[in-house]
């Protein structure tokens, strides 16, 4: 029997959770419970997918090879789960699989549980969203965390919710911040040692201050908080735990109080170092003349102690960001051989067009080279200082214009939607290649006067996004980090907005806005298989083994930032249909 939940009496639910259901959750012992060991070892097991990124290093690699370059031509749909006809929009999630069940989040802060063999819906949770939510970039959600008997996810009204995996009932539900100030949660929470669930916020476009928070996954109790803008106090177990950075060191006056920097995309985790890595968003407002200075720790990569929330190191990719070049693309963790040594490294294919490699133990920059073909805002990255070598191509100051209303317009490449955006790349530890869903586009951008008002857009800029090349915008690229060269690429007419998956079967899976899930030869880039799901694929594919068969699953549903913010690009893809469904595939016999 399908159970459908709609939270109407939040106070009553929360009270009931505090007195009853938390105790049940903490004492429950069932075959399907997801343990800490299972999560930390997710990359090495094939019977389930219990972490976002298919392992804490978020490499999105699977050792499965039943589906391979020879057999993939027999891959066919096994079932489809519909999310319903009324709530379409963008479906950017990665599904989870455990104990014969599949769990997936959907637009409008929903969660679905289904039988992984048949696609039959087991339950559906509909979070009751208040009036006045302020999502920046569509009503999307990128995924959930599994822990013991819980399914944990964030909502568009900035709540963190834990559901019973068997019933969909609310076990605990906590407010992380004030949604009326523009804060929301769209990233997938993840679990670290000791049962801590990590979560971070979105909201830079409204002047919300970015943060990372850790909660006890069993109870929802806050353990630590770390604001990522200098001047704000962190906490540990409810007590002050040090100011982030040094107040006013890189933010003049009170601008740090509305400084943005929200780490709205996925974090990663090194269990050996016990460090989490978060990438931060743009400073607020976009108009950089309103906030002189480097504006730490916006547009940065942070290494954070997983137990205390203390920032161990930072690397800022774009000081005083003037183009909305969030550093929010994920930091994928891998072992990098350099000068005869193997370094515990992290890699990021940045919005700004450069592929960064850092030593993840200390944040030292190891490499920064282009992965897109056109970049005009900087000529490179200074390896001594780590700072970009800017070309002077910043939008003009409105105060210097004749009417004081609009600064000089410049053509900047990439656009603010990035050479790569939130959509995760994959890494193959067997051949050392990264598989990057890249996009080539630029923007006309200009600045306008702006002042902060709670709950209002805080940009101070205008823009129009345009393609760089006539024949394509998106390209799946195999990138060699040792040579910083593109090994091969497969072009796509529209921007790529899905995640990637690579397998030991020598296949790369990814989706296109035109609706296709595709499989490429990981060595050559040759297209071996495709299937049209009926709506744009902008979610992240997964693979697992069940009953001796390898499966592949991916959400389908066009939306996200491109049709909302894309300017001329949005017009080019306006014919694409929205949707809401989960597709599962396996080999036909």
Q: Which residues are catalytic?
A: 324
| Sheet containing 145-147: order of strands | 145-147, 150-154, 159-164, 170-175
Collapsing DSSP to helix, strand or coil, 27 comes out as: helix
**Long-range contacts of residues 357-362, Cβ cutoff 8 Å, at least 24 apart:** 357/481, 358/301, 358/315, 358/331, 360/270, 360/273, 360/275, 360/277, 360/303, 360/331, 360/333, 361/273, 361/303, 362/303, 362/313
Q: Give the list of residues 6+ apart from residue 451 with CB closer than 8 angstroms, or none.
A: none
Side-by-side strand order, sheet with 461-467: 410-412, 441-447, 461-467
CA distance 101 to 391: 52
Count H helices, E strands: the chain? 5, 41
3-state secondary structure of 111: strand
Residue 573, C-beta contacts closer than 8 angstroms, at least 6 positions apart: 494, 495, 513, 562, 563, 566
Helix (H, G, I), strand (E, B) or coil at 138: coil
Count Cβ atoms below 10 Å from residue 323 Cβ, excluding itself.
28
Tell me how far CA of residue 84 lies from CA of 87, 459, 512, 576, 577, in angstroms.
Answer: 6, 34, 22, 18, 15
End-to-end CA distance of the chain: 31
Facing residues of 202 across strands?
184
For the beta carbon of residue 21, count every other beta carbon within 10 angstroms: 17
Q: Residue 415 CB: number of other CB atoms within 10 A?
A: 30
Query: How many whole angstroms separate alpha carbon 49 and alpha carbon 41?
Result: 10
Measured CA to CA, the distance from residue 541 to residue 582 in angstroms comes to: 10
Beta strand 365-370 pairing with 354-359: antiparallel
- Round to whole Å and give the CA distance between 93 and 142: 4
12: DSSP letter: H
Task: List the one residue out of 93, 92, 96 whose CA is nearest residue 51.
Answer: 96
């Amino acid at each position: 029997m399908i159970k459908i939940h709609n939270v109407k009496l939040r106070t009553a639910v929360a009270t009931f959770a505090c007195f009853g259901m938390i105790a049940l959750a903490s004492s429950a012992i069932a075959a399907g419970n997801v343990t800490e060991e299972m999560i930390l070892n997710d990359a090495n097991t094939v019977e389930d997918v219990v972490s976002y990124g298919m392992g804490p290093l978020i490499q999105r690699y699977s050792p499965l090879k039943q589906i391979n370059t020879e057999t993939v031509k027999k891959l066919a749909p096994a079932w489809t789960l519909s999310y319903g006809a009324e709530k379409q929009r963008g479906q950017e999630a990665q599904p989870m699989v455990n104990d014969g069940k599949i769990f997936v989040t959907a637009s409008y802060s929903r969660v679905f549980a289904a039988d992984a063999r048949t696609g039959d819906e087991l339950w559906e949770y509909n979070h009751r969203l208040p009036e006045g939510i302020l999502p920046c970039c569509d009503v999307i959600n990128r995924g959930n965390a599994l822990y013991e008997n819980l399914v944990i996810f964030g909502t568009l009204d900035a709540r963190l919710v834990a559901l019973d995996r068997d019933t969909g009932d609310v076990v605990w539900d906590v407010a992380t911040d004030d949604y009326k100030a523009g804060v929301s949660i769209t990233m997938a929470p993840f679990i670290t040692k000791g049962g801590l669930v990590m979560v971070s916020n979105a909201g830079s476009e409204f002047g919300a201050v970015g943060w990372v928070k850790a909660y006890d996954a069993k109870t929802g109790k806050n353990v630590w908080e770390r604001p990522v803008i200098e001047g704000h106090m962190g906490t540990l177990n409810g007590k002050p735990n040090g100011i982030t950075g040094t107040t006013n060191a890189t933010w003049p006056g009170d601008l740090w109080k509305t400084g943005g920097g929200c780490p709205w995309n996925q974090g990663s985790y090194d269990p050996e170092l016990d460090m989490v890595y978060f990438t931060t968003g743009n400073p607020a407002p976009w108009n950089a003349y309103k906030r002189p200075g480097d504006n730490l720790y916006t547009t940065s990569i942070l290494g954070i102690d997983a137990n205390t929330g203390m920032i161990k190191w930072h690397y800022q990719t774009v000081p005083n960001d003037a183009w909305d070049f969030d550093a929010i693309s994920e930091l994928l963790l891998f072992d990098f051989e350099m000068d005869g040594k193997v370094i515990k490294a992290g890699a990021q294919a940045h919005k700004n067009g450069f592929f960064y490699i850092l030593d993840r133990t200390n944040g030292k920059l190891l490499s920064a080279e282009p992965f897109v073909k056109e970049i005009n805002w900087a000529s490179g990255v200074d390896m001594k200082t780590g700072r970009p070598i800017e070309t002077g191509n910043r939008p003009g100051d409105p105060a210097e214009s004749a009417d004081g209303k609009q600064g000089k317009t410049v053509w900047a490449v990439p656009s603010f939607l990035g050479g790569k955006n939130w959509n995760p790349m994959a890494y193959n530890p067997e051949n050392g290649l990264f598989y990057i869903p890249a996009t080539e586009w630029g923007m006309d951008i200009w600045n306008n006067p702006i002042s902060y008002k709670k709950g209002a857009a805080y940009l101070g800029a205008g823009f129009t996004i345009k393609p760089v090349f006539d024949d394509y915008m998106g390209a799946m690229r195999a990138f060699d980090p040792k040579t910083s060269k593109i090994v091969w690429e497969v072009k796509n007419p529209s921007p790529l907005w899905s995640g990637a998956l690579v397998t030991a079967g020598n296949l790369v899976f990814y989706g296109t806005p035109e609706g296709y899930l595709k499989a490429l030869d990981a060595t050559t880039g040759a297209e071996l298989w495709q299937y049209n799901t009926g709506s744009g694929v902008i979610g992240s594919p997964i693979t697992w083994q069940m009953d001796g068969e390898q499966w592949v699953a991916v959400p389908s549903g066009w939306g996200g930032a491109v049709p909302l913010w894309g300017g001329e690009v949005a017009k080019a893809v306006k014919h694409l249909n929205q949707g809401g469904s989960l597709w599962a595939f396996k080999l036909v016999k």
